[in-house]
């Protein structure tokens, strides 16, 4: 039976939600997870649209874009022989197994309950028995007649990921293009398979079945999708603000950002890339049949309300009032997981979960609300200054690309060292530390990806860095040193992942 008064409600049973549960339950906190899909896995749980009321950014042929060795949880290994870059179904199975182990460990202790097929309608603060609580209103997705229930908790963890609302950047002429050619513009969120980018097979000339495709943006999904579309397209032109980055096999052309889209002639006009004159025209791409945006997503937490029912947060690229990208500064009983983009999400999820679990348990004192505000204001000012200098994009506030993910993970590890020892009977769970082993693994990701993808269908037989010419250490050089530095308030979860 689901408890009506858990300590913590977690929204989402994907990677971040499951990891959060493992850390919170290890502190002895009672956790209820609410998940709208029929099972765990989050974004990796690709449910046919007829079975749900949500879209999915996972398509049938999707593989991971980084090696599994860099997306391994500290307390669960991948099955022997798993491909170097697993298929999305294998990632789903990995998370399902992780969830099963959590349930085996904590359900009989009544520390964990997971409710599937339930949508969160509203989350807001209310008075309950003279105490201020979070009220989470959920709707059953299995009932033909709407059925609602309320949960009351001390804490809420929002772990719904960062794939809420697809982002379409504005370009001159885009609206006219949509009006003129409404079926020609799409987003990676709606991508299913490359055959969507071929004409209907009603002509004898096979070459005429191929389309001219313009891809805008080249994030993680762009690399994988472009390699598949390139095999069926007449031509595939990539528009990206970083045209010098490595392209997927079969993608031969990368152009700077778009200056203008001309709907009548189906032509894309590009900027020159000349930083001294951003309006200077560059190349053109004529006869564009399809435009696919791989431009990411905006955050949308419209289900979180103020006491008067207004949205607590605006939709956009930033959740501005969060300490360490996770704890909500105005009310530290609310936390967000999975806001960071561009970094290694598995180890980041563990680092964030270690922080909030210690804070919610009360054995880690976080800064006061005014001091948190000053820290956040400083970070925002630094970021805005970088935006004005054109060093970063205005959508990059939570971007942990480059080496920022390592700095972030180890910063949270250091913060966790200030925690008081865990209570008797609840051992807690060690925060992860980003050691030099992970540096080696991440540094070789680009090379490993290109070699792995170039192997074609036989690539699934390659499961290690060494199998594609990579080299990882056979032992962790930082492990013994760190063991001597760890304080009683934290712990060490070395992220050594082996070859």
- Check if the beta carbon of residue 34 is closer than 8 Å to that of residue 115: yes
CATH architecture of 8-165+298-366+398-429: 3-Layer(bba) Sandwich (3.50)
Query: pLDDT tens-digit profile of 130-168?
Result: 789 999 999 999 888 889 999 999 999 999 987 778 888
Mean pLDDT estimate for the chain: 86
Contacts 24+ apart (CB under 8 A), 241-244: 241/393, 242/218, 243/273
Residue 264, exposed/middle/buried by CB under 10 A (0-12, 13-18, 19+)? exposed
Query: pLDDT tens-digit profile of 297-323?
Result: 889 999 999 988 899 998 888 898 999
How does residue 220 score in pLDDT terms, banded at 50, 70 and 90? low
Tell me what pLDDT residue 278 has: 42
Tell me what pLDDT residue 98 has: 97
Question: What's the whole-number mean pLDDT along residues 82-96?
Answer: 96
| Three-state secondary structure call for residue 8 | strand
More confident residue, 20 or 77: 20
Tell me what pLDDT residue 50 has: 43
Specify the CATH number of the domain 168-295. 3.50.50.60
Taking residue 461's Cβ as centre, other Cβ atoms within 10 Å add up to 11
Tell me what pLDDT residue 275 has: 44
Quote the strand ranges of 208-362, DSSP E. 212-216, 235-239, 254-255, 258-262, 267-271, 281-285, 290-293, 297-298, 322-323, 327-328, 334-336
Question: What's the whole-number mean pLDDT along residues 201-209?
Answer: 55
Residue 122, exposed/middle/buried by CB under 10 A (0-12, 13-18, 19+)? middle
Tell me what pLDDT residue 396 has: 84
Query: pLDDT tens-digit profile of 440-498?
Result: 899 999 899 989 988 989 999 999 999 999 988 766 666 555 554 554 444 455 555 55
Tokens of 222: 């762009």
> Distance between CA 172 and CA 297 in Å, rounded?
20
Tokens of 54: 């949500």
Tell me what pLDDT residue 51 has: 42
Domain with CATH 3.50.50.60 in the chain: 8-165+298-366+398-429, 168-295
Query: pLDDT tens-digit profile of 408-443?
Result: 999 999 999 999 998 777 788 999 998 888 888 999
Instruction: Quote the percentage of the chain above a pLDDT of 70.
Output: 86
Residue 273, exposed/middle/buried by CB under 10 A (0-12, 13-18, 19+)? middle
Tell me what pLDDT residue 277 has: 43
| Three-state secondary structure call for residue 477 | coil
DSSP string, 116-172: -SEEEEEEEEEEETTEEEEEEEEEESS-SS--EEEEEESEEEE---S-SEE-----T
Query: pLDDT tens-digit profile of 2-16?
Result: 676 899 999 999 999
Q: Among 97, 84, 81, 115, which residue's Cα sits nearest to residue 44?
A: 97
Claim: this prediction has a pTM higher than 0.85: yes
- Check if the beta carbon of residue 278 is closer than 8 Å to that of residue 271: yes
């Amino acid at each position: 039976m689901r408890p009506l008064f858990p300590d913590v409600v977690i929204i989402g049973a994907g990677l971040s939600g499951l990891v959060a549960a493992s850390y919170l339950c290890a502190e002895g906190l009672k956790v209820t997870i609410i998940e709208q899909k029929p099972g765990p896995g989050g974004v990796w749980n690709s449910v046919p649209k007829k079975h749900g009321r949500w879209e999915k950014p996972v398509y049938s042929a999707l593989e991971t874009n980084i090696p599994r060795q860099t997306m391994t949880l500290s307390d669960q290994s991948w099955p022997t022989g798993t491909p170097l870059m697993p298929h999305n179904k294998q990632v789903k199975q990995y998370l399902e197994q992780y969830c099963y182990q959590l349930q085996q460990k904590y359900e009989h202790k009544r520390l964990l309950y997971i409710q599937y097929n339930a949508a969160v309608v509203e989350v807001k603060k209310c008075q309950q028995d003279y105490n201020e609580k979070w009220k989470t209103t959920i709707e059953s997705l299995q009932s033909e007649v709407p059925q609602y229930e309320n949960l009351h908790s001390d804490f809420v963890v929002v772990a719904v990921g960062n794939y809420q609302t697809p982002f379409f950047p504005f370009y001159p002429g885009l609206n006219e293009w949509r009006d003129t050619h409404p079926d020609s513009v799409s987003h990676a969120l709606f991508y299913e398979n490359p055959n969507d980018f071929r004409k209907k097979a009603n002509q004898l000339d096979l070459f005429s079945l191929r389309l001219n495709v313009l891809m805008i943006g080249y994030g993680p999904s762009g690399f994988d999708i472009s390699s598949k579309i390139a095999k069926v397209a007449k031509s595939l032109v990539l528009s990206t603000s970083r045209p010098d980055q490595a392209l997927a096999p079969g993608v031969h052309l990368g152009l700077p950002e778009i200056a203008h889209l001309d709907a009548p002639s189906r032509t894309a006009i590009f900027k020159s890339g000349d930083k001294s004159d951003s309006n200077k025209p560059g190349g053109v791409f004529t006869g564009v049949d399809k435009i696919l945006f791989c431009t990411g997503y905006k955050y949308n937490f419209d289900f979180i309300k103020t006491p008067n029912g207004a949205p607590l947060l605006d939709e956009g690229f930033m959740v501005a009032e969060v300490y360490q990208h996770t704890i909500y500064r105005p009310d530290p009983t609310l936390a967000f997981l999975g806001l960071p983009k561009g970094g290694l999400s598995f180890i980041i999820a563990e680092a964030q979960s270690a922080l909030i679990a210690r804070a919610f348990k009360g054995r880690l004192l976080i800064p006061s609300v005014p001091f948190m505000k000053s820290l956040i204001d400083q970070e925002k000012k630094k970021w805005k200054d970088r935006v004005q200098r054109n060093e970063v994009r205005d959508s990059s506030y939570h971007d942990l690309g480059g080496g920022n993910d390592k700095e972030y993970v180890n910063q949270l590890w250091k913060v966790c060292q200030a925690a008081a020892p865990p209570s008797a009977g609840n051992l807690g769970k060690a925060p992860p530390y980003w050691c030099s082993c992970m540096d080696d693994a991440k540094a070789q990701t680009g090379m490993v990806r290109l070699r792995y993808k170039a192997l074609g269908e036989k690539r699934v037989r390659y499961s290690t860095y060494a199998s594609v010419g990579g080299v990882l250490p056979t032992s962790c050089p930082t492990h013994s040193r760190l063991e001597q530095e760890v304080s009683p308030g934290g712990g060490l979860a070395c992220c050594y992942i082996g070859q």
